[in-house]
Structure 1
């Protein structure tokens, strides 16, 4: 069953929902070649003083063409007063808007002749899916990701 046919879970504040750690399972397809990414994503405030500036950091392993390599990615996120966010690349270039208030969002990013279309679907407080379709003269890619919230074990309290 595809993410688009599942019931959605609206969230009033996009970054409050995303805050914390998530496991990431991503299937990659590019012109008939396939691979995967397995890792972890963290959404956190960029620095302690500015609660409206966030980072989305992913780290993990990409398996492609019989080889496995470590991979990282960082995106910047700007919280907006209405519960949405603006996403940019780590160097500050704009990427896309993000609005999860209805539980589903489609973002479009044009990069030269390539069109990136991302569909974000929130399924529960602890799971969301992301599907990026990339089309262009030299690109025919599909990246399908499942994010599941990582629950950190409770730390024992001292004196108990």
Structure 2
């Protein structure tokens, strides 16, 4: 799969996420659905799920992004249009880093088992220190 095949992500995906917060020593999980909805030549990404952190009661969690083709890569924007990061949608590879204040977000994608894929974020800085692994599996619609 190559980046110009952005529309292969369109549809509903099961989402499972594990969070290892090394700052607090806590573990978290999220179970939910990610949906990629076409809008012109880009995709609107929306995820919803139940987030559990340690022994705390579960809470509803949501995220929204915009995915679009940028040359041979996929560009991910925040839902307000600000740039977030780029990646190449083939094999295994690093995405671009994202600096948020003094915290550095690094992502690595794995598409080797397409249509199952994953994204691992490593976040380090004065306020954050965690690894978050998200796994996606295409749902039959």
The reply on whether 1:43 has 2:36 as its aligned counterpart is yes
Match 1:20 to one of 2, 8, 11: 11
The reply on whether 1:72 has 2:65 as its aligned counterpart is no
The reply on whether 1:53 has 2:42 as its aligned counterpart is yes
The two structures have a TM-score, normalised by structure 1, of 0.79
The two structures have a TM-score, normalised by structure 2, of 0.88
Could you tell me how far apart the structure 2 residues matched to 1:113 and 1:149 are?
Answer: 35
Q: Give how far 1:124 is off.
A: 2.4
The reply on whether 1:116 has 2:105 as its aligned counterpart is yes
2:32–2:49: 8 Å Cα contact kept in structure 1? Answer: yes
More strand by share: 2
RMSD: 1.5
Could you tell me how far apart the structure 2 residues matched to 1:45 and 1:73 are?
Answer: 17
Q: Give how far 1:16 is off.
A: 2.5
Could you tell me how far apart the structure 2 residues matched to 1:139 and 1:130 are?
Answer: 18
What per-residue deviation string (whole Å, max 9, x for no partner) do you get for residues 138-159 of structure 1?
A: 210110111111112xxxxxxx
Stretches of structure 2 that go unaligned for 5 or more consecutive residues are none
Could you tell me how far apart the structure 2 residues matched to 1:131 and 1:116 are?
Answer: 10
Q: Give how far 1:18 is off.
A: 1.5
Q: Give how far 1:81 is off.
A: 5.0
Cα–Cα, structure 1 residues 81 and 113, in superposed 2: closer, same or farther, change >3 Å? Answer: closer
Q: Could you say what secondary structure the match of 1:15 adopts?
A: helix
Could you tell me how far apart the structure 2 residues matched to 1:14 and 1:95 are?
Answer: 20
1:99–1:105: 8 Å Cα contact kept in structure 2? Answer: yes
Select the structure of larger CA radius of gyration.
1
Runs of 4+ in 1 over 6 A off after TM superposition: none
Stretches of structure 1 that go unaligned for 5 or more consecutive residues are 1-10, 153-160
